[in-house]
Structure 1
Amino acid sequence: MGKMETILSEIQSVTSLIDEAELTEIAADLQRTGRIFVIGEGRSGLMAKSFAMRLMHLGAEVYVIGETITPSIKEDDMLVAISGSGSTKSVVWTAEKAKKLGCQVIAVTTNPDSDLASHASKVLRVPAATKYRREDERQTIQPLGSLFDQCAHIVFDTICLSYAELKDIGHDQAFKQHSNVE
């Protein structure tokens, strides 16, 4: 088996353990909330930004924590916080602060017993390998947290697909929100 086939097999082995009904439930939660905020660091942060971009295309009011135009988070907003290990300091701190402010917090992590998960209203476990290679993590040929980030991207796109269906938004409506100055 080639490298690409192995990577795809690894992704399939992780995503097959995630209940799509849980992703649809998260999409419904996102649809019911007013504003959505996302946070992550490193490659996981890029997955969070990708998720925010697609939600924006689907008509959501969404912000990335740490960007210069991000407003203050308030009660009744929702935070989606992503950290493979669940121990990334800035992500954990933001989740803790958001919870204290009365926000719903969705933690996306491999570790449901992590600091991040302890501050979450809902934990979405993505059972992939992280850079720490703990005993209970999946085996992977890939470096660091690549498997987690790839699976998170697919999970987020699946949530977006359900979100679009719930809001009855098709390709043409989403395309109208796509950048036209590139």
Structure 2
Amino acid sequence: MDSFKETAQACVEEISTVISCTKEEELAAIAQGFKHARRIFISGDGRSGLMGKAIAMRLMHGGYEVYVVGETITPSIGEGDVLLLVSGSASGVAARQVIKKAKQAGAKVMLVTANRETEFGDLCETCLFVPAATKQRKPDEPKTIQPLGNQFDQSIHLLLDAIVVKLTKEKQAEMKARHANLE
């Protein structure tokens, strides 16, 4: 790769491959979860959490009541709510605790992960498997020129954003009115 544009194009091709291997019915299940939720709560650590925050903002612009877990203004989760957990590895004590607490409160849990073998899948009503490389670089993950979990992060950003685009197709004027105006 001789140029920055060629590097960018190689990254785009990688993401295109990941997206083509993602299941439409899993994307549709996430969309339905958003559509029917009383409120949406989004959780994720590190870079996955940043991608989750980006989607939270887009959902808010689309008229959804959405919160990011861990923020000071996030209320308690309850019946009729949905928790979206974004985690490449879908492992760890903290993520398990978030899922358990959400379930105990009567919320439904949706998971977005690159780990098809996660034990969290059994705890969630919906699971979107994104076959992308993560920082673990497991043997079953695709090859990538990108560092760490860039391929997963970029893939989930585009996939979740595509859901928001479809859900908010008729709400462009309303979305502009909800955009921040204290900038």
- Relative to the length of structure 2, the TM-score reads 0.92
Contact residue 39 and residue 81 of structure 1 kept, 8 A: yes
Report what 1:32 is aligned to: 36
Report what 1:127 is aligned to: 131
Number of residue pairs the alignment of both structures matches? 179
| Deviation of 1:33 (Å) | 1.2
Closer, same or farther in 2 for the Cα pair 1:112/1:97, shift >3 Å?
farther
Report what 2:176 is aligned to: 175
Q: How does 1:21-100 map to 2 (within 5 A)?
A: 21-100=25-104
| Deviation of 1:163 (Å) | 1.5
1:8 lines up with 2:12 in the alignment? yes
Of 145-154 and 20-29, the range deviating more from structure 2: 20-29
Q: Which amino acid aligns with 2:177?
A: K
After TM superposition, the runs of 4+ consecutive aligned structure 1 residues lying more than 6 A away are none
Q: Which amino acid aligns with 1:134?
A: K
Instruction: Extract unaligned runs of 5+ from structure 2.
Output: none
The percent of aligned pairs where both chains have the same amino acid is 45
What's the RMSD between the two structures over aligned residues?
Answer: 1.4
Q: Which amino acid aligns with 2:179?
A: H
CA distance in 1, matches of 2:13, 2:30: 25
- Relative to the length of structure 1, the TM-score reads 0.92
CA distance in 1, matches of 2:76, 2:154: 30
Instruction: Extract unaligned runs of 5+ from structure 1.
Output: none
Q: Which amino acid aligns with 1:10?
A: E
| Deviation of 1:21 (Å) | 4.3
Select 2:106's aligned residue among 102, 108, 112: 102
CA distance in 2, matches of 1:158, 1:27: 10
1:150 lines up with 2:154 in the alignment? yes
What SS does structure 2 have at the residue aligned with 1:106? strand
